[in-house]
Structures are given as structure tokens and as C-alpha cells.
Amino acid sequence: MGAIGIGYPEGTLKAIAQSGNNGSRYTTNPATLTMPLSGVTYIELPSGGSWVPAAITGSGILVLHNSAKNALLQNPGGGTFRGLVICDDIVHLHNTIVGAVVSLTPAPSAGNVIGNGTGAVLYSRIAIKRATEVAVMPTNGSQNAVAWRE
């Protein structure tokens, strides 16, 4: 998973999560996570795996993914998450997400029903910007220019 069109090769978010920088975490078992989340949290589930119920709070970038693109985030609740949520499939949203949600599956398990619960997705470019800046910033807090255009 990457965004090669904007300069991130596949595997970048997973590598950041595995590095542990800025509170980032990588796991194959969501039960090992403690809240609030921060940095890049990358959960890699087996094919057909799901995180149910998913209590999500904090900020940053949350990725729930597997190579089959069928990892399921079901009944996420528990409070507010600020940033970017990228999941293979997501159903029954019960918490508030300030930022954005991206579902990668071409065939959602619940059709077009992402949220028939009490939750809300409140688009915020500021929350997305903060999440992506913190996620990729070196632990010393400084940033280096990798490209410059005039």
C-alpha cells in the first residue's frame, strides 16, 4: 500500500509503523493496541480477518489491511479519532472521525452502508495535514526538503 503517484512507494506506511517513530505501531493483533493511537498505526490481518468491535481514539494514520484487501473494520467506536483511516473494508461506524476515511475494497461487505450507527465522518483537511505531517516527521522534529519546484 503506497501512493507512488505522489512519491510514497508501496510499503511506506507499514515501514513507518514498524519503525515506531512518533508513537507509530505495527501489529497483526489489534487486541495488543492501547489507546490513544498516534503516528502511523498499521494493523495487518489475515485474509478474511476483522477487528470487532474496534475501540478507536487518538490521531494519526490508521491502516487496516491485508494482501487480499479484505481486512474488515467493524463497529468502530469509543470516541474520536483525528486523521486518516485507510481500511480494506469498514462497516457500522459508531465513533467520530475528524479527517477522512478511505475504503480500498471494490466490493464492500455491507454494500454501500459504511455507517448505520451513531458515528460521523467529518472531513477536515487540517486533521489530514496534521496526521500526515506528524506521521512522516523524523523523531528529532526537523524536516528536510526532498523536492523543490519554482
Q: What is the pLDDT of residues 104-134, one digit of tens each?
A: 888 777 666 666 777 899 999 999 999 988 7
Q: Could you tell me the sign of the dihedral formed by the alpha carbons of 137, 5, 123, 43, in that order?
A: negative
Residues 6+ apart with CB under 8 A from 41: 17, 24, 25, 26, 27, 33, 58, 60, 61, 62, 63
Does 41 have pLDDT greater than 60? Answer: yes
**CA distance linking residue 86 with residue 73, whole number of Å:** 10
Burial 86-96 (b: 16+ CB within 10 A, else e): bbbbbbbbbbb
**CA distance linking residue 63 with residue 3, whole number of Å:** 13
Residue matched to cell numbers 465522518: 121
Q: 135 or 78, which is more confident? A: 78
The winner for highest mean pLDDT among 1-10, 34-43, 74-83, 106-115 is 34-43
Phi, then psi, of 97 in degrees rounded to 5? -115, 120
As a whole number, mean pLDDT of residues 70-77 equals 89
